[in-house]
A and B are shown apart, each in its own frame.
Chain A
Amino acid sequence: MGVNVKGVFLCSKACIPAMRKRGAGAIVNTASVAGKTGHGNVAAYCTSKFAVVGFTQSLAEELGPDNIRVNAVCPGFLHTAMWSDVLDPVVAPSLGVNREAAFDTYVERNTFLRRAQTPDDIGDAVVYLCRADNITGVALNIAGGAEMH
């Protein structure tokens, strides 16, 4: 909660005065598909990411008149330490596979495109949102179809 929510809040607090002075700015927060739909065993994580989406939408309205755009990216499934250390052992039994096969199996069953996301995928989305002059308040899924709202 400290990093995911308070960190996002404080970074915006640090940047907004300079952006207001310049009359333009783009903020892209890191949310998650876990900020769109809740899941068991990760309630705290989902709570933090729902907060980022809500904060993004609220700040987008507040800062629109200052020509500061506020959006978020919602990464889907990347095989990060959180997956290896926390989710693999939880997900594996429910999928009926061993821990080593949990991530790939989960991705296969839950994404239309049948593949995991990469840091490059998320980076592309951030660049797009930074460039998109008329988009604000969006929480953009980068999840291979696993999340659609």
Chain B
Amino acid sequence: MELKGKCAIVTGAARGIGRGMALKLADAGANLALVDLGNPADATLTYNLAAQTELSRTVEEVKRRGVRAAAILADVTRWGGLPADGQRGRVCVGRDRYSLQQRENHRGRSGRIVQRADLGSGDGS
């Protein structure tokens, strides 16, 4: 399968292995939605979570390879959770285009879109 112009979602993309995946997919020509928690340090952990600035840095590195890229702050362990900035929402793949949407979530029901990463139709066009 040709990856040029296709859309890919990479979680844990701020640093380390996820960042390595993102850069290689970008080298192959894929447009990318880059997902990470973007949380400040958590005192209960023995290591630091990736910061939002690290995710932003990966986005810029990916864009310099000539593909489209967008950052998505999300917690993959929660269906509809966005603890990074205190909002509740959902990350989902759109029906007609490969876009990621984060929505406010009130009492379990999705509200307005607060963040969107539109990556095109995914067919190379």
Residues on A facing B (Cβ under 8 Å): 2-3, 6-7, 10-11, 13-15, 17-18, 21-22, 24, 26, 30, 75, 78, 80-82, 84-86, 118-124, 126-127, 130-133
Contact = CB atoms under 8 A, between A and B. Distances in A.
A140 to B, nearest CB: 13
A85 B47 contact: yes
Interface in B3-50: 3, 8-9, 11-12, 16-17, 19-25, 27-28, 30, 46-48
Chain A interface, DSSP helix/strand/loop, else mixed: helix
A123 B48 CA distance: 23
Interface bin, chain B? 20 to 34
Contacts of A10: 76-79
B122 interface: yes
B66 interface: no
B92 interface: yes
B4 to A, nearest CB: 11
B17 A124 contact: no
B93 A17 contact: yes
Contacts of B94: 18
Contacts of A122: 17, 20-21
B21 to A, nearest CB: 5
Contacts, number: 86
Contacts of B77: 2-3, 6-7, 10
B97 to A, nearest CB: 9
A49 B1 CA distance: 27
B47 A127 contact: no
Contact of A120 (B3, B24, B28): B24
Which 8 A-B residue pairings sit nearest by Cβ, starting from the closest?
Answer: A119-B20, A123-B24, A7-B76, A18-B93, A123-B20, A81-B47, A2-B77, A123-B21
A30 B1 contact: no
B95 interface: yes
Contacts of A132: 1
